[in-house]
Chains A and B, each alone.
Chain A
Amino acid sequence: MRVRIVAIPVLDQEQALKFYTEKLGFVKKFDIPLGGGARWLTVVAQEEQDGPEVSLEPAPNHFEPAKVFQKSLFDAGIPYTQFNVNNTQEEYDRLVQLGVEFSMKPTEMGTVKVAVFNDTCGNNIQIIEIL
Chain B
Amino acid sequence: MNPKMTFYEKEVHRIKDICYSNQAQIKAIIQIRKYIDNNFDANLNLDLLSRECLISKYHLLRLFKKYYGQTPKQYLIDKRIAKSKEFLKAGMTATQTCLTVGFESPSSFSSLFKCKVGMTPSEFQKSNF
**Interface status of A7 (Cβ within 8 A of chain B):** no
**What CA separation (Å) do A76 and B5 show in the bound complex?**
10
Judged by a CB distance under 8 angstroms, whether B7 is at the interface is yes
Q: How far is the CA of A76 from the CA of B26 in the complex (A)?
A: 29
Contact A76 B20 (CB under 8 A): no
Bound complex: CA of A114 vs CA of B33, how far in Å? Answer: 18
Whether a CB of chain A sits under 8 angstroms from the CB of B24 is: no
* 1/0 contact string of B1-17 vs chain A (CB within 8 Å): 00001111100110110
**Number of A residues whose C-beta is below 8 Å from B?**
18
Residue-wise, chain A 83-104 has the 8 Å CB interface mask toward B (1 for contact) of 0000000000000000000011
The answer to whether B20 touches A110, judged by C-beta atoms less than 8 angstroms apart, is: yes
Taking a contact as CB atoms under 8 Å apart, the answer to whether B67 and A104 are in contact is: no
A109 contact from B16, B29, B118, Cβ within 8 A: B16
B35 touches A (CB below 8 Å)? no
Contact A77 B7 (CB under 8 A): yes
Whether a CB of chain B sits under 8 angstroms from the CB of A124 is yes
For B12, list chain A residues within 8 Å (CB).
104, 107, 109, 114
Closest B-chain residue to A73, C-beta based? B8
Residue A116 is within 8 A (CB to CB) of chain B in the complex: yes
- Cβ contact of A78, chosen from B8, B19, B118, cutoff 8 A: B8
B7 x A78 contact (CB < 8 A): yes
Are A76 and B29 touching (Cβ within 8 A)? no
Give, as a whole number of angstroms, the nearest-CB distance from A128 to chain B. Answer: 11
B26, A111: Cβ atoms closer than 8 Å? yes
Q: Is the CB of A110 within 8 A of B19?
A: yes
